[in-house]
């Protein structure tokens, strides 16, 4: 691979990978179910699997096993660390494949400075991996790649063993019966620190009225207990059934599995074209067409929701202005209608400037005021102060980047952490001057709905 493919302005001299060789081999295979491939790795690769499907369903990636792991330890430089390590590693690619690139998949925690004890024990501040076996389905074609990152110069035997395992996985995925996954049986549903959540909204609203911040996103968690452990494949299946019009992602870290079906793109880069989505401001769907349209119109003209949205548009436009040219931002939001909820939505596009990369955009965008607030640092410190939980990877960037610098990150909302027989679900909302705790509380219930339905935790009077 040509080292110049990456920005030549990367001045961090990284010698860590000079001794490594990064071998890749890709074959085209008959199309198969991505979930069946994920499931085929249940025994050999459990704890080290990844799943991604974009909102448009034109790109699906499944990763099984880790050829290489990148974990960033420095809370202040984690984006840089991942970026420079990935660039260095890509320089060691021995042979370039024409159809698909090796992918680095993973995510970041929402706030590395939040020290609140949490259930996210297996997830470091940044957790990325190059899969040993990578299935990519795009343009109606399927490819399986093997990746081997090694210091050994003679790795013929290792590669032979990987080919055998690849063929086993493909065969298992192609001949497996389509599994019927049962809805899990929920034995208990707990609202975590509901009173603290309501109190935090009151406090934050006061702080906003006192002009110490303009917007702060406050969230809360629900816990579900299951009669028996829920498999990662089954959780993904349920999420895709319930929320097909979203990004679908899953990231395993040992016995824990973070997954979700989010409508929100943080940023995508393809051939140096960058695209982000401003998504903030919400109202439920109506039961009839008339009511639905009426609610949509109400959302479009509601002052509080428009202000929630505008902070996001301004911030994303500003970040795009710093990293790209030809920035386009529609003047007024549209509606994004998904199964349970309607959102205000504004796409932002631009052409990356030389020297700017996808991970630079991720670093500067996260968290947008759709998940953090405005101003960013004040909002983060208010969240640390008033939100009595640790978000872990909820509301943080999860996604992928390939060896050419193309990739996409979603904002990991409408998500849950699966921890054997328990699941933690998260939802929040943008608090502005005229927010009320009751309305925000109701809004979180609507946002919990897709994951609750997927995990069988909805009450019988909820749909």
Name the site residues for Mg ion (rule: CB under 5 A): 282, 429-430
Question: Does 87 sit near ligand ISC (CB under 6 A)?
Answer: no
Q: How far apart are CA 358 and CA 52, in angstroms?
A: 17
Whole-number Å distance between alpha carbons of 141 and 228: 37
**CB closer to ligand ISC, 86 vs 311:** 311
Closest by Cα among 79, 75, 72, 69 to 105: 69
Interacting positions 328-367 with ligand ISC (CB under 6 A):
343
The 3-state DSSP composition of the chain as helix, strand, coil percent (nearest 5) reads 30, 35, 35
Give residues 305-334 in contact with ligand ISC (rule: CB under 6 A).
308
Identity of the residue, 413 or 455, whose beta carbon is nearer to Mg ion in the bound complex? 413
Chain residues 415-444 in contact with ligand ISC, contact rule CB under 6 A: 427-430
Q: Does 370 bind ligand ISC (CB under 6 A)?
A: yes
Q: Which of 215, 223, 268, 447 is catalytic?
A: 215
Question: Least distance (Å) from ligand ISC to the CB of residue 301?
Answer: 15
Beta bridge partners of 159: none
Q: Does 447 bind ligand ISC (CB under 6 A)?
A: yes
The Cα 442–Cα 448 span in angstroms is 10
Of the residues 146, 371, 403, 451, which one makes contact with ligand ISC according to CB under 6 A: 371
Pick from Mg ion, ligand ISC, none: which does 135 bind, CB < 5 to 8 A by kind?
none
Name residues contacting ligand ISC, limited to 177-236 (CB under 6 A): 217, 219
- The one of Mg ion, ligand ISC, none whose footprint includes residue 371, by CB under 5 to 8 A per kind, is ligand ISC
Shortest Cβ distance from residue 64 to Mg ion (Å)? 37
> Could you tell me the smallest distance in angstroms from the CB atom of residue 310 to ligand ISC?
12
350 binds, among ligand ISC, Mg ion, none (CB under 5 to 8 A by kind): none
CA 33/CA 29 separation, integer angstroms? 12
413 is a site residue for ligand ISC (CB under 6 A): yes
Determine whether 264 is an active site residue: yes
Among residues 173 and 299, whose Cβ is nearest to Mg ion?
Answer: 299
Q: Which is nearer to ligand ISC, 413 or 452 (CB)?
A: 413
Q: Does 405 sit near ligand ISC (CB under 6 A)?
A: no
Exposure string over 351-368, b if 16+ CB within 10 A, otherwise e: bbeeebbbbbbbbbbbbb
Comparing CA positions, the residue from 128, 153, 131, 174 lying closest to residue 24 is 131
Pick what 413 binds: ligand ISC, Mg ion, none; C-beta below 5 to 8 Å, kind-dependent.
Answer: ligand ISC
State how far the alpha carbon of 333 is from the alpha carbons of 277, 296, 303, 338, 347, in Å. Answer: 11, 12, 13, 16, 8
Is 193 strand, coil or helix? coil
Choose among 264, 306, 279: nearest CA to 54: 264
In angstroms, the Cα distances linking 141 to 31, 34, 41, 411 are 6, 12, 21, 27
Q: Which of 338, 277, 336 is nearest to 312 (CA)?
A: 277
Given a contact cutoff of 8 angstroms between Cβ atoms, the answer to whether 416 and 263 are in contact is no
**Interaction site with ligand ISC (CB under 6 A):** 217, 219, 264, 279-282, 308, 343, 370-371, 413-414, 427-430, 447
Residues serving a catalytic function are 215, 264
């Amino acid at each position: 691979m040509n080292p110049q493919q990456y920005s030549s302005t990367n001045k961090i001299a990284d010698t860590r990978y000079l001794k490594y060789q990064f071998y890749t081999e890709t074959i085209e295979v008959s199309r198969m179910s991505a979930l069946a491939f994920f499931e085929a790795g249940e025994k050999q690769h459990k704890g080290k699997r990844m799943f991604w499907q974009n909102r448009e369903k034109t790109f699906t990636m499944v990763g099984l096993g880790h050829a290489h792991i990148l974990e960033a330890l420095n809370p202040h430089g984690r984006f840089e660390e991942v970026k420079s390590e990935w660039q260095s590693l890509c320089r060691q690619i021995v042979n370039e494949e024409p159809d698909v690139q090796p992918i680095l998949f993973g995510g970041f925690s929402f706030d590395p400075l939040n020290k609140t004890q949490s259930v996210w024990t297996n997830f470091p501040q940044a957790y990325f991996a190059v899969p040993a076996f990578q299935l990519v389905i795009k343009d109606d074609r399927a490819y399986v790649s093997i990746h081997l990152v090694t210091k050994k110069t003679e790795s013929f035997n290792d590669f032979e063993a990987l080919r055998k395992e690849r063929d086993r996985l493909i065969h298992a995925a192609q001949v497996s019966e389509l599994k019927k996954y049962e809805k899990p049986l929920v034995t208990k549903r707990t609202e975590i620190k509901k009173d603290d959540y309501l109190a935090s909204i009151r406090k934050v609203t006061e702080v906003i009225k006192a002009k110490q911040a303009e917007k702060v996103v406050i969230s809360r968690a629900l816990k579900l207990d299951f009669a028996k452990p829920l498999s990662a494949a089954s959780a993904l299946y349920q999420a895709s059934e319930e929320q097909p019009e979203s990004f679908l992602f899953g990231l395993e870290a040992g016995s824990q599995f973070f997954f979700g079906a989010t409508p929100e793109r943080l940023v995508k880069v393809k051939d140096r074209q960058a695209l982000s989505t401003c998504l903030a401001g919400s109202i439920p769907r109506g039961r009839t067409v008339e009511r639905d349209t009426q609610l949509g119109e109400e959302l479009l003209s509601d002052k509080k929701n428009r202000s929630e949205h505008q902070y996001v548009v301004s911030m994303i436009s500003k970040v795009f202005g710093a990293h790209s040219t030809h920035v386009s931002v529609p003047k007024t939001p549209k509606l994004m209608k998904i199964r349970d909820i309607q959102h205000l939505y504004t796409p932002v596009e631009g052409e990356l400037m030389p020297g700017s990369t996808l991970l630079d955009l991720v670093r500067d965008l996260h968290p947008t005021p759709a998940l953090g607030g405005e101003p960013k640092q004040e909002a983060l410190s208010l969240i640390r102060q008033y939100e009595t939980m640790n978000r872990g990877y909820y509301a943080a960037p999860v996604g992928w980047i390939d060896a050419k610098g193309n990739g996409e990150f979603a904002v990991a909302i409408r998500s849950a952490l699966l921890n054997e027989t328990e699941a933690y679900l998260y939802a929040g909302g943008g608090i502005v001057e005229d927010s009320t705790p009751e309305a925000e509380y109701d809004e979180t219930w609507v946002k919990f709905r897709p994951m609750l339905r997927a995990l069988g935790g909805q009450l019988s009077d909820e749909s």
